[in-house]
């Protein structure tokens, strides 16, 4: 239960099994048998093989049935290995109450993980945003020139795009220049577009311009 295969996980999702209950059931669940085969295990099994089985396998090899012999002996070894590990995998049965307690623990673990993941995503988003704004600040004249094209379109979409760029420019000035520099440049920009009321309204709503 602590290490479901992809097929088992898909089946659990198909039947809409509570993921917290499933994770809780996996707490303290015995681990699956080790995939690695040790030489000691092979020696133990070979030493215990009945003579007739050894003879049968050798006969198959001599008859050119190597694949069949190999498949048969591997299957017998795997079966023996599963049986020898059964004792190690036995665990006391758990009550419904214990499973519910584990499910609650699993829920808390899941919520904490989600919280950490959200925090990390926000950190990554801020770092990416800061790097983008720093790149803008490396050439403000070029960025201001970018605003002209969407504005000249005279469409709602163009004004939205221009407003987005101006918001980015304002934030870049806050971080890497001064607000005063931005306001001076914005006044020059607005002076050339006073008749574009829809654009002015967007800038006011965005909080980067105040109508006088």
Phi and psi torsions of 29, nearest 5°: -70, 140
pLDDT of residue 12: 65
Map 27-46 to HEC letters.
CCCCCCCCCCCCHHHHHHHH
- pTM, to two decimals: 0.57
Residue of 57 and 169 predicted with greater confidence: 169
Task: Report the half-sphere exposure of 149 (CA within 13 A, side-chain side).
Answer: 6
Q: Which residue bears the tokens 């049965």?
A: 93
- 72-88: per-residue pLDDT in tens? 888 888 887 777 655 44
Q: Give the tokens for residue 146.
A: 């970018």
Is-contact 208 166, C-beta < 8 A?
Answer: yes
Q: What is the largest CA-CA distance in the chain?
A: 103
List the one residue out of 140, 160, 151 whose CA is nearest residue 205.
Answer: 160
- Predicted confidence (pLDDT) per residue in 89-146, tens digit: 455 677 778 878 888 888 899 899 999 999 999 999 999 999 999 999 999 999 999 9
Taking alpha carbons only, the member of 186, 23, 13 closest to residue 101 is 23
Q: Supply φ then ψ for residue 154, to 5 degrees.
A: 70, 15
**Burial class of residue 202 (count of CB atoms within 10 Å of its CB; 0-12, 13-18, 19+):** buried
């Amino acid at each position: 239960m602590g290490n479901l295969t992809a097929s088992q996980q898909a089946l659990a999702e198909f039947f809409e099994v509570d993921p917290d209950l499933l994770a809780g059931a996996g707490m303290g669940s015995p681990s699956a048998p080790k995939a690695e085969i040790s030489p000691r295990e092979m020696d133990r099994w070979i030493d215990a093989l009945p003579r007739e089985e050894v003879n049968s396998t050798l006969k198959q090899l001599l008859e050119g049935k190597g694949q069949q012999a190999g498949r048969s002996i591997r299957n017998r070894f795997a079966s023996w290995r599963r049986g020898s590990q059964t004792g190690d995998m036995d665990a006391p049965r758990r009550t419904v109450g214990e499973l519910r307690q584990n499910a609650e623990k699993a829920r808390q673990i899941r919520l904490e993980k989600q919280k950490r993941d959200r925090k990390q995503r926000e950190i990554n988003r801020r770092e990416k945003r800061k790097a983008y704004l720093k790149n803008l600040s490396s050439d403000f004249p070029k960025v201001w020139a970018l605003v002209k094209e969407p504005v000249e379109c005279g469409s709602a979409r163009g004004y939205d795009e221009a407003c987005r760029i101006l918001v980015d420019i304002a934030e870049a000035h806050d971080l890497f220049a001064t607000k005063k520099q931005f306001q001076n440049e914005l006044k020059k920009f607005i002076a050339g577009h006073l008749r574009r009321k829809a654009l002015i309204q967007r800038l006011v709503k965005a909080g980067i311009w105040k109508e006088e």
